[in-house]
Chains A and B, each alone.
Chain A
Amino acid sequence: GEDVEQSLFLSVREGDSSVINCTYTDSSSTYLYWYKQEPGAGLQLLTYIFSNMDMKQDQRLTVLLNKKDKHLSLRIADTQTGDSAIYFCAESIQSGGYNKLIFGAGTRLAVHP
């Protein structure tokens, strides 16, 4: 089946680390993605990880992938108020020779002083 699950809310204090978790179902996904949606805007690709990697670091962002458990996480170090947004996990699934993205429900991150 096609299913991506995430927790819906996360609240952190400014300067702390945020960890957003995601589980997916399709073990053949080539890429797994994290998208960010700010209020009133479209989604923007934040980072991604190739399925043969365990970890990817990009400045304040660290993505961890556990293929055995089909678990993906996004860690944001030194979280700032500007990081407040909805974060969507997505997996790519083959459909008729093309890829389609299946999104989780999104995790709303609230950063407070």
Chain B
Amino acid sequence: DTAVSQTPKYLVTQMGNDKSIKCEQNLGHDTMYWYKQDSKKFLKIMFSYNNKELIINETVPNRFSPKSPDKAHLNLHINSLELGDSAVYFCASSQVGGLAEQFFGPGTRLTVL
């Protein structure tokens, strides 16, 4: 009964390729997030969606395009991959308001060669 799941767990690809990472949550949460964790473990928010609507969009290259087909899914598509995109990408979800604890997925390790 995984709460927040991501696929794939590992992704190795060549520079210039386009790839997607999928995220699903079965917690009934309204809000979902994408974070990037670099090699030094620094974790930074990229996007957030609430009920399929983009609410947070940090300074992220427009090669990154999130898509939320419904409130339980938030996918991340990356065009023209670059070496600097290598990182672990975490999806998370939460309710709106109150403590708003964020539940994290297991992460997708992306390696760009």
Q: Which residues of A contact B (CB under 8 A)?
A: 31, 33, 37, 40-45, 48, 86, 88, 92, 95-103, 105-106, 108
Contact pick for A41, options B92, B101, B107, CB 8 Å: B107
CA distance A86 to B56 in the complex (A): 26
Question: B13-21, B43-51, B62-70, B71-79: which lies at the A interface?
Answer: B43-51
By DSSP majority rule, is chain A's interface helix, strand, loop, or mixed? strand
* B56 pairs with A45, CB closer than 8 A: no
Contact pick for B55, options A31, A45, A96, A102, CB 8 Å: A96
* B41 pairs with A106, CB closer than 8 A: yes
Interface residues on B, range: 20 to 34
Considering the complex, give the chain A residue whose CB is closest to the CB of B41. Answer: A106
Minimal beta-carbon separation of A2 from chain B (angstroms):
10
Contact pick for A100, options B56, B99, B107, CB 8 Å: B56
Contact pick for A44, options B45, B50, B100, B104, CB 8 Å: B104
* B41 pairs with A45, CB closer than 8 A: no
Q: For the complex, is B31 an interface residue (Cβ under 8 Å from A)? A: yes
Minimal beta-carbon separation of A33 from chain B (angstroms):
8
* B99 pairs with A106, CB closer than 8 A: no
Considering the complex, give the chain A residue whose CB is closest to the CB of B58. Answer: A100
Minimal beta-carbon separation of B95 from chain A (angstroms):
11
A45: chain B residues at CB < 8 Å are 101-103
* B90 pairs with A42, CB closer than 8 A: yes
* B99 pairs with A48, CB closer than 8 A: yes
* B106 pairs with A92, CB closer than 8 A: no
* A100 pairs with B105, CB closer than 8 A: no
* A88-B43 in contact given A95-B56, A98-B50, A99-B100 (Cβ < 8 Å): yes
